[in-house]
Structure 1
Amino acid sequence: MSDRGFLEKLLDGASVAWKPLGDIAQYSKTRISSEHLDKTNYVGVDNLLQNRAGRVDSSYVPTSGNLTEFRAGDILIGNIRPYLRKIWLADRTGGTNGDVLVIHPTDDVVNPSYLYQVLTDEKFFEYNIQHSKGAKMPRGSKPEIIRYPVPIPCPEYPEKSLAIQAEIVRILDSFTELTAELTAELTAELKARKQQYNHYRDQLLSFEDGDVEWKTLVEVADFRRGTAITKKQTTEGDIPVVANGPVPTYTHGEHNREGETVVIARSGAYAGYVSYWNEPIFLTDAFSVHPHDGVLKPRFAYYLLQNKQDQIHAMKKGAGVPHVRVKEVELYDVPVPSLTEQDRIVAILDKFDTLTTSLSEGLPREIKLRQQQYEYYRDLLLSFPKPEEAA
């Protein structure tokens, strides 16, 4: 069955009326005292979540005055850029401020959950952004928003109309629930795998005195600082520029490190962050650790330092821009087992690392796919023919 056929079967011959939002809803006209508000029922743009993700408890609650009231079934929409894609279907009574619009359904032939689905459509957000006004902090145009056309199936038969709306809501809610369940399952599995990985890493890298030789890191490795460079100084190329964080800042046409490289970020919020690279890179605001051949394997050194990530982060100094001193890291004591034992430990930890990484990367990808699936069916179920199309 074609996409249009699916919708036609749902409508079963029923007509569709396109009504301005103002014909079926209005902005909230009631007020609520701050005395009745707390972190669970006060909603501002800060605790509304982007991309239709709902709300979280507020860290700020007004302590005086009256605010705009919302009730269960009302739809709250962020009304300041870049918060115009924040939307929530209220499930309680509460209050909000002028930065959030409260849409209150007034027509008994409109299911609030159905109206919420219509207003979560990307077409509405684009419409809202298109008509927003203001230079510094653009706001949605309340007169234009209230003119937004909403499709009402079978308006002449309220009972049938509500049944069609309820079926649309049921189908879309099922996708939302499946996404939530999948996210919870994958998140729990990822957490368990990380705990398992950390447990085995701690065990494998915990050596008793006398079992292995211990040396300071500077005795078994050389340290090299990165080269200062700005984005303007880079040339065209695909060499990652590695600085003070887990993600390359940009790319460059040259490299100053190649092969296996253990990197420790030198300054900034990620000062002390340990990473491993096995490709040409251009190292800038960081320093690299180069184990001596025949003594310490680079991948083993990486796991040793990663296992002590919290302690290395704790070495940060400075209030404005924290930084890690090379000399302090050089004096770090490390165990030096045989090369054969290092290879054995690395092989085990690599397996756990691969599994954890695949789950970490797969989780957002799977959620995105589920979200795309939901959006596809939402567009399909809300693609009612407009009067000119019907003609």
Structure 2
Amino acid sequence: MSKLDELIAELCPDGVEFVTVEEICDITRGRVMSKNYLRENTGVYPVYSSQTANNGVFGYINTFDYDCESVTWTTDGANAGSVFYHINEKFSITNVCGLLRVKNNELVSTKFLFYVLQVYAKKYVNDGMGNPKLMSNVMARISVPLPPLAVQQEIVRILDNFTELTAELTAELTAELTARRKQYEYYRDLLLTDLNEDTVKWISLKECTLPTSNIKWSLEDESTTYKYIDLTSVDRELHYITETQEINKNNAPSRAQQIVKAGDILFATTRPLLKRYCLIDSEYDGQICSTGFCVLRANTDIVLQKWVLYHIASSSFYYHVEKYQQGASYPAISDTNVKDYRIPVPPIEEQERIVAILDRFDALCNDLTSGIPAEIEARQKQYEYYRDKLLSFKEVTA
């Protein structure tokens, strides 16, 4: 029997009491802080907001609102219900965050409450009206298990160790994934440029691609529907279409204009554009894409579709985009500048040979890299499974 089992058997064999968050915590809400406010009051104390990137840090200012062990949570937006633990830290939170401070540390472990709310809080998020929310009045009414303090502390010890081990493994797997991708990119770029110059012509993408056309919505029948490929349809990491929306003459967005064919290559020219590209397969032949894409239709008398695709994926093309994109807030590159990019074009037979090598290399790399993200996800699910089991208690009956 583990130490935790012994403690439960001794201290709460018949179950535990459930209490509401407002019974055990003081609840406060953050304050409005704009980016201008952060710039005008820059300092060393973190401000936490609704994002989860960078551990939720929105910026840094020269004052702080809190200096206590506490749990904060996101009240609004896509990350509503996300919870964070703070100790030995001076910080502030914005108005899209709330803060919980335990009233009696001899009764409740703040770290235990944090782990419990990781499980419970998301269940209370209201997704209505397209803006998820977990407001203070709802947080206050969440019912959570409250075992004896010794049990709480043992669960915290176990989960702290498990969290650390999971984080270390995830970091190692992520580093391996990064290394594999860099290795692949290096050899891909080498194969695309290490060519016999005597047999190569350097031409622009404009010279080796064909014209495309736009749909005339005014002539369309109202019952005819299309799959619409917008910028978010194309996965930046996997480079294929993950989802589309169905559109027709009546609901087509203004940017739904370009007709695509199987074999076309889409490259996103507007934010978020970097490395967002894909090859259109037969499923999307004749469908519609956003004008935020440059559509490259290879002239297969000159170049293979995948010869163009692999060049679009190359580091050299990335630098070309970096050089010619314009705009600070919404960087973009024009179709003209995309098509001005020059690529080496060897004879078709040589293109076929190199593309075949790259296809095999790409498949091998994807086998390796797809396994790594799957392993990372599996470890996270394993962690969540055991955390949830540790935090599942039978409620004591009167």
Whether the TM-score (by the shorter chain) exceeds 0.5 is yes
Q: 1:188: Cα distance to partner?
A: 0.9
- 2:157 matched residue in structure 1: 170
CA contact (8 A) 2:270 2:333 kept: yes
Structure 1 residues 148 and 57: alpha-carbon distance in aligned structure 2, compared to 1, 3 A threshold: closer
Q: Which amino acid aligns with 1:12?
A: A
Q: Which amino acid aligns with 1:26?
A: D
Q: Which of 175, 195, 199 is matched with 1:188 structurally?
A: 175
Q: Which of 338, 357, 381 is matched with 1:372 structurally?
A: 381
Structure 1 residues 298 and 112: alpha-carbon distance in aligned structure 2, compared to 1, 3 A threshold: same
In 2, Cα distance between the equivalents of 1:95 and 1:317?
A: 36
Query: Match of 1:288, SS?
Result: strand
- 1:324 matched residue in structure 2: 334
CA contact (8 A) 2:82 2:122 kept: no
Q: Which of 286, 308, 318 is matched with 1:301 structurally?
A: 308
How many residues of Structure 1 are paired with residues of Structure 2 in the alignment? 357
Q: 1:94: Cα distance to partner?
A: 0.9
Q: 1:125: Cα distance to partner?
A: 3.8
Matching of residues 86-105 of structure 1 within 5 Å: 86-97=82-93, 99=95, 100-105=97-102
Q: CA RMSD in A?
A: 4.5
- 1:342 matched residue in structure 2: 351
Structure 1 residues 10 and 234: alpha-carbon distance in aligned structure 2, compared to 1, 3 A threshold: farther
CA contact (8 A) 2:49 2:57 kept: no
Deviations 1:33-83 (A, max 9, x none): x9xx97664333246x28xxx82544242x56xx53232x32222344555
Q: 1:349: Cα distance to partner?
A: 1.9
CA contact (8 A) 2:119 2:388 kept: yes
- 2:198 matched residue in structure 1: 211
Q: Which runs of 5+ in 1 are unaligned?
A: 156-160
Larger radius of gyration: 1
Q: TM-score with structure 1 length normalisation?
A: 0.71
Q: Which amino acid aligns with 1:250?
A: T
Q: TM-score with structure 2 length normalisation?
A: 0.70
Q: 1:101: Cα distance to partner?
A: 3.1
Structure 1 residues 363 and 341: alpha-carbon distance in aligned structure 2, compared to 1, 3 A threshold: same
Q: Which amino acid aligns with 1:299?
A: K
Deviations 1:108-133 (A, max 9, x none): 243322121122223x3434x46x9x
Deviations 1:224-259 (A, max 9, x none): 2242488x978457xx54455635462569996555
Deviations 1:334-377 (A, max 9, x none): 32323343233222322332344445555554444333333332
Deviations 1:138-159 (A, max 9, x none): 66235x6445444332x4xxxx
Query: Match of 2:98, SS?
Result: strand
Query: Match of 1:93, SS?
Result: coil
CA contact (8 A) 1:244 1:266 kept: no
Is 1:151 the counterpart of 2:138? The answer is no
Q: 1:300: Cα distance to partner?
A: 1.9
Q: Which runs of 5+ in 2 are unaligned?
A: 30-36, 236-240, 249-257
Structure 1 residues 221 and 41: alpha-carbon distance in aligned structure 2, compared to 1, 3 A threshold: same
Matching of residues 232-311 of structure 1 within 5 Å: 235=224, 241-242=228-229, 246-247=234-235, 248=241, 250=244, 258-265=261-268, 269-270=272-273, 274-281=277-284, 282-284=287-289, 285=291, 286-293=294-301, 295-307=302-314, 308-311=316-319
Structure 1 residues 20 and 292: alpha-carbon distance in aligned structure 2, compared to 1, 3 A threshold: closer
Q: Which amino acid aligns with 2:160?
A: D
Q: Which amino acid aligns with 1:334?
A: I
Is 1:85 the counterpart of 2:81? The answer is yes
Is 1:43 the counterpart of 2:39? The answer is no
Structure 1 residues 344 and 234: alpha-carbon distance in aligned structure 2, compared to 1, 3 A threshold: farther
